[in-house]
Structure 1
Amino acid sequence: MSGGSSAVSRHWSTVRVVVVGDPATGKSSLITAAATDTFPETVSPVLPPTILPADYYPDGIPVTIIDTPSSLEDKHKVEEELQRADAIVLTYACDQPETLVNLQNYWLPEIRRLKVDIPVIVVGCMLDLRDEHFPINLERMMGPIMQQFKEIETCIECSAANLVEVAEVFYYAQKAVLHPTAPLFDQESQTLKPRCIRALKRIFVLSDHDKDSALNDSELNQFQVKCFSAPLQPNETDDVKRVVRANLPKGVNHLGLTLDGFLYLHSLFIAKGRLETTWTVLREFGYSDDLALLKENLPVTSEKAPDQSIELTSEAVDFLKGIFSLFDSNKDGALKDFELDELFSTAPESPWDGDPYKDSMERTERGDVNLSGFLSQWALMTLLDPPQSVTYLAYLGYTGDLAKAFRVTRKRSLDFKKQHTDRHVFQCFVFGSKNAGKSALLTSFVGRPFQENYKLTSNQCYTVNTVAQPQGIKKTLILHEIQECDVKEFLSSKDSLAACDVAVFVYDSSDEYSLQRASKLLAEVAWKGEDSGYGVPCLLIAAKNDLNLYPMAIKESEMVCQVMKINAPIRISVKEEHMNNIFQKIVTTAQQCHLSVPETEHGRNKKRYRQLVNRSLILASVGAAVAIVVLATYRAYACRKTSSAH
């Protein structure tokens, strides 16, 4: 494998290099010599911006060089230029040791203070003036400094007077920007970084068309043509495998180049300073400088109305089922943590390690993830973060049309009018007062045991699972807990209920205040739904039914439901596992989207007013029609009367 960096031009129009350093360290002479290939007898104290044209270096990207003053009064201007730089050339004078000390004591700490996270090229100028009787080992001299300041990309010494290594200075600066080392390679351990390994592994898997875990000669050649637009000659293919086999025997087998061999080759390229080869490969496969897939190469998945949602299509689900089966190494129908980690090993990291996904899916008694939980988690990620879902499908090697891996559902407002929904994934908002039993409801949904001790959950608490319907059809249900203290802020948004397919209001059956609070929350949500046009079907859930009910508990809760015109309360006990088919009932309520939508007195008055207005309009229309008919009849009669008189 070999080649240049053809993909670079998509990302850079120019590379801006700022030259800084102590006074009289040769900054201006270095810039002039690089631009004119001659040594200037006299130079201005500070040069205007100097451009090295696109054809100056192999990458075909021009370099804009910014000279800077060294006086303290111009410090602010230097800081501004450093903030705009893509790379820094930091100079010292080879014949002035104190400038090297100042580089370590002032310049590098100053760059770090400004939080300028860009590569630094340390350049020793005026090499021709160094005393030849005191030779210096550059590597030994700069090693401790580079160890302390990891932002230093490389060190080089040059002579503008003798035109020695002058062009190389800005070549290294440009190269550090276009083909940075830091994302790919750990200089200290001399190994590829984990994120780089993950990206290269994905590229290897995509290039392994016959899925035999090796790149044969044909696949190697296709890879070479894709990345470098030139085929490998047979002797070149043999040479590649010979080099790998000599240094890493397991890097080649009877089928071809293995993943270990593929990674070894890239380590070799980087160690030899050929980072452009690895970066060309990464960019050809759509990676950015932070080794994530470029968003502009992925389809847009967020263009939808507030009351629409995004779901995976059957093609995407079938792909995920195949991926699950592929990584279920012992074929027990579940993925252990190490198998799940391996499944996501071609992505920068697992998408489910943090909130809101960490504890959201069902696991087996051994803590493994079954297929239902796996697909449910994907449904949750697709609903909450469609761009992330499409990106991770790409990381897993989805080869179909990513734009067809998702479907946008019909608007809920239209579902309400048609009294039917074709959604496969429903989101349920769970309201209720503190200690009402909301968290217990969520955890029971994913099979976790009941816990006596109450634990406050974050406002990003979700659980997700599949729910079987009477006809045997499975739907995916997402429960989203809304903390009582967050309700006011949550409902302040106009579209707060747009994504809600069904809302449930949980109260403690033994606590009169809990019912009062749930009733108030129900009224607030109903009011918000009427006001925003996003009315949602609602259920009242009487939790902790194993405790002693307070007097009038049943009568008062049923009265609330009658007034609001929703179904009677559903009584459950998570502790005793008497769930009363609650999750099936939630899904049924979501599917019957036109029913169980609560009404407030305000809403009923609005409805009566609309009915009255409609009735008045109808009567007015009928009256107008009658008047028109009477007028036409009279005119016809008058015409006939006039005719008969003549």
Structure 2
Amino acid sequence: MSVCVGASPICPKAHSRAALHCPAVAYEKPLSFLFCLLISFFAAMLSPSSAGGRREVRIAVVGDGGSGKTTLIAAMVSESFPMSVPPVLPPTRLPHNLFPDSVPLTLIDTPSSLAKQGTRNEELKRADAVVLSYACNEPVSFERVSTYWLPELQKLEVKAPVIVVGCKLDLRDENQLVSLESLTTHIMQQFTEIVTCIECSAATLYQVPQVFYFAQKAVLHPVDPLFDYKRHALTDRCLRALRRIFVLCDHDMDGALNDEELNEFQVRCFNAPLQPSEIAKVKTIVEQKVPEGVNSVGLTFPGFIYVHNMFLKKGQTETLWAVLRKFGYDNHLKLQDDFLPVPSKQASDQSVELTDEAVEFLKSTFQLLDTDKDQYLRPDEVDKLFDTAPESPWNDTPYKDAVEKTDMGYTSLNGFLSQWALMTLLDPQRSLANLIYIGYNGNPAAALRVTRRRSVDRKKQTAERNVFQCYVFGCKHAGKSALLYSLLGRPFSNNYTPTTVEKYAANVIELKGVTRKTLILREIPEDGLLEFLSNQDCLAACDVAVFVYDSSNEYSWKKSRDLLEKVVRQGELTGYRTPCLLIAAKDDLTPFPRAVLDSVKVTQELEIKTPIHVSMKLGDSGNVYNKIINAAVHPHLSIPETEIARRKKQHYQFLHHTLIFSLVGAAMAIAGFTACRVRTVKKNTTTA
């Protein structure tokens, strides 16, 4: 079987959602000369990669019994009208070369009876697209589309696009002709999942292939990610993607695509060059419609958008998707995983950091964005940075308010780099993607690195990483949040807000005025501690655990000591033994005497540093952040030594010494035996 529908069939009996929301587009009329010219220039033969890498499209066909759905499938398969069909056809796979995208289709006929409703529902949930049929010669059948079938799909939470198909067009009374557009506009407005409405006839084979072409197209080249129906314009995410593509193609960064750059874009996307006369015609067409779309250099961004907007409004979604996928975008208009070679961690106690190359790129980016050279980025300058990303990654938790900013919301270079360090630690793939979105053109594989295992760091008694994560434990009112806010340079506030979800704070810390490390504080809410500790690997990513307590409050101290014991025990059970520090907060208040004595005793027993006294209210941090970094750099100095750990250590040392003594004894025995043999041989030789 070979059915060639073409790159984009324009069907007189089809009504698409693009036409519904773009009144200027009329499928009943031929395409304008100007747009045909654009199509011929830009929409060359699309490669299979424009299908987004899909290996199959699964289409479920549903509808009332007798509406023609089974006959429709049979006619598609046999290219002829079947005189009789079974109640339900088995799954049918169509060849991959049926349509230009070269992706095979599997057609699933579904039963209409209530007895087999469960089977039908399961197929609907698995479907990539749904073809919903009604009989053109039965008005009641069409009414059932909106009164039963579409509400049923919503009830089942079917997310697949829907193609509404009027079958048996040849049987409709010609005296009751109604345009498809007037018939279907209302239900398309009511049910946004409908992508296309089309009429066909299995008896005459009229538009039978087009039904399944539109179903495949709705999956491979979806409209929803590209077009905002409410605004009647390209979606914000689509505009951002096209802006990035434009910037990447604008090699000389002059704000316009000259003839050479435009031709490179054409070849990259469609494997077909443009002649100089063709480029001139394109620019003429754009200038007539969008005067600011062309300047003395070439095609500007508004002109670039105009061309792609017209592709979409004329139903050429596959052309726009061909461009997007050539630049790495998936159906959600995010970079595909294949474009994001994130290094994989081999163990839970490893982490991912930016390389020096990536950090230098970010520093130069900061300088370019800082147009007024005040060493800060305004919020609008940060927003501009992510104009070419799907969205700003820092507008939501945990990144929002996680770095140092001025009262005006300005971000310093340290805050900028800390934000990237935090995102790389928590979500390396998202960090790498955003590096690429904002213009990083180096080898993506060279932007991130996996650090050495923390367990190895502790054996070697030094850590080589540049970003350290510190877990902050403590009960309510202990002063945990004040510790985070102080790291961000925020003034102390007497207003108390309990922490209910994990919070982060990140900043750059200088050691001895030379070495710069990034410290990330992660506050663990008291109410979420049990759930946190239930995770076997909860301490794997922790470089230092600090336990904050109100030095004037007995309960706060006891709670902190209890948390310390639990974390230490967890570390011994899981093998993630973590450096620990005690922080006596609110040092401006009268201390609780027993807490002073007990805290010193506990630190001596565990062989860790004595408590660090701080008063964020007085601005006295006790150099706590540098001490946390030092504990992370030299982890062996602050790992608690419990009695169990000591016994294990002694047992290990005993076995080690025993092994050495055994080896030495064995070596001496062998040496003695060898010496005896030598003497015996000499004696026998002399006697002879």
Scaled to the shorter chain, the TM-score interval is over 0.9
Cα–Cα, structure 1 residues 225 and 619, in superposed 2: closer, same or farther, change >3 Å? Answer: same
8 Å contact 1:433–1:514 — kept in the other structure?
yes
**Cα-to-partner distance string for 1:92-127 (whole Å, 9 max, x where unaligned):** 222211111111111111122121111211122222
Q: Is the aligned partner of 1:356 residue 2:393? A: no
Shift of residue 219 of structure 1? 0.9
Cα–Cα, structure 1 residues 49 and 455, in superposed 2: closer, same or farther, change >3 Å? Answer: same
Matched letter for residue 207 of structure 2: E
Q: Is the aligned partner of 1:574 residue 2:616? A: yes
Matched letter for residue 209 of structure 2: A
CA distance in 2, matches of 1:240, 1:342: 29
Q: Is the aligned partner of 1:535 residue 2:580? A: no
2:67 corresponds, among 15, 21, 25, to: 25
Which residue in 2 is equivalent to 1:321? 363
Matched letter for residue 147 of structure 2: N
Matched letter for residue 540 of structure 2: A
2:120 corresponds, among 68, 71, 78, to: 78
8 Å contact 1:523–1:600 — kept in the other structure?
no
Shift of residue 426 of structure 1? 1.1
Matched letter for residue 370 of structure 1: S
CA distance in 1, matches of 2:84, 2:351: 68
**Cα-to-partner distance string for 1:233-286 (whole Å, 9 max, x where unaligned):** 222212222222112112222222122221221110011111110011111111
**Cα-to-partner distance string for 1:50-86 (whole Å, 9 max, x where unaligned):** 4443333222233333333333333333223322322
**Cα-to-partner distance string for 1:373-395 (whole Å, 9 max, x where unaligned):** 01101101111221221121122
Which residue in 2 is equivalent to 1:5? 46
CA distance in 2, matches of 1:31, 1:154: 18
Q: Secondary structure at the match of 2:174?
A: coil
Which residue in 1 is equivalent to 2:328? 286
Shift of residue 636 of structure 1? 5.2
Cα–Cα, structure 1 residues 140 and 523, in superposed 2: closer, same or farther, change >3 Å? Answer: same
Which residue in 1 is equivalent to 2:294? 252
8 Å contact 1:89–1:121 — kept in the other structure?
yes
Matches within 5 A, 1:505-516: 505-516=547-558
Could you list the runs of 5+ residues in structure 1 that have no partner in the other structure? none
CA distance in 1, matches of 2:205, 2:682: 114
Which residue in 1 is equivalent to 2:169? 127
8 Å contact 1:94–1:125 — kept in the other structure?
yes
1:277 corresponds, among 319, 326, 336, to: 319
CA distance in 2, matches of 1:544, 1:296: 51
Shift of residue 488 of structure 1? 4.3
8 Å contact 1:527–1:603 — kept in the other structure?
no
Q: Is the aligned partner of 1:565 residue 2:607? A: yes
Cα–Cα, structure 1 residues 625 and 15, in superposed 2: closer, same or farther, change >3 Å? Answer: closer
Q: Is the aligned partner of 1:378 residue 2:420? A: yes
CA distance in 2, matches of 1:521, 1:208: 57
Matched letter for residue 585 of structure 2: A
8 Å contact 2:293–2:299 — kept in the other structure?
yes
8 Å contact 2:51–2:221 — kept in the other structure?
no
**Cα-to-partner distance string for 1:310-338 (whole Å, 9 max, x where unaligned):** 11111111212232233334333222222
Shift of residue 4 of structure 1? 4.0
Q: Is the aligned partner of 1:454 residue 2:496? A: yes
Aligned residues: 646
Which residue in 1 is equivalent to 2:459? 417
Shift of residue 159 of structure 1? 2.7
1:266 corresponds, among 289, 308, 315, to: 308
Shift of residue 494 of structure 1? 4.2
8 Å contact 1:302–1:387 — kept in the other structure?
no
Q: Is the aligned partner of 1:149 residue 2:191? A: yes
**Cα-to-partner distance string for 1:169-224 (whole Å, 9 max, x where unaligned):** 22212211221111111234321111211221211111111112211111111111
Q: Secondary structure at the match of 1:345?
A: helix
Cα–Cα, structure 1 residues 634 and 556, in superposed 2: closer, same or farther, change >3 Å? Answer: same
**Cα-to-partner distance string for 1:130-178 (whole Å, 9 max, x where unaligned):** 2222221221221111111111111122233333323222221221122
8 Å contact 1:526–1:599 — kept in the other structure?
no
Q: Is the aligned partner of 1:369 residue 2:411? A: yes
Let me know the Cα RMSD of the aligned residues. Answer: 2.4
1:609 corresponds, among 637, 651, 655, to: 651
Q: Secondary structure at the match of 2:548?
A: strand
1:334 corresponds, among 361, 371, 376, to: 376
- Name whichever of 608-617 and 142-151 sits farther off: 608-617
Matched letter for residue 360 of structure 1: A
**Cα-to-partner distance string for 1:514-555 (whole Å, 9 max, x where unaligned):** 223323333443344444443333222111000011225434
1:504 corresponds, among 541, 546, 561, to: 546
Matched letter for residue 29 of structure 1: T
Cα–Cα, structure 1 residues 159 and 344, in superposed 2: closer, same or farther, change >3 Å? Answer: same
1:242 corresponds, among 281, 284, 288, to: 284
CA distance in 2, matches of 1:47, 1:596: 71
8 Å contact 1:301–1:387 — kept in the other structure?
no
Shift of residue 466 of structure 1? 0.5
8 Å contact 1:198–1:346 — kept in the other structure?
yes
8 Å contact 2:50–2:326 — kept in the other structure?
no
Cα–Cα, structure 1 residues 104 and 553, in superposed 2: closer, same or farther, change >3 Å? Answer: closer
TM-score by length of 1: 0.94
CA distance in 1, matches of 2:148, 2:405: 55
Which residue in 2 is equivalent to 1:388? 430
2:237 corresponds, among 191, 195, 204, to: 195
Which residue in 2 is equivalent to 1:118? 160
Identity of aligned residues (%): 53
8 Å contact 2:71–2:82 — kept in the other structure?
yes
Matched letter for residue 2 of structure 1: A
TM-score by length of 2: 0.88
CA distance in 2, matches of 1:394, 1:183: 21
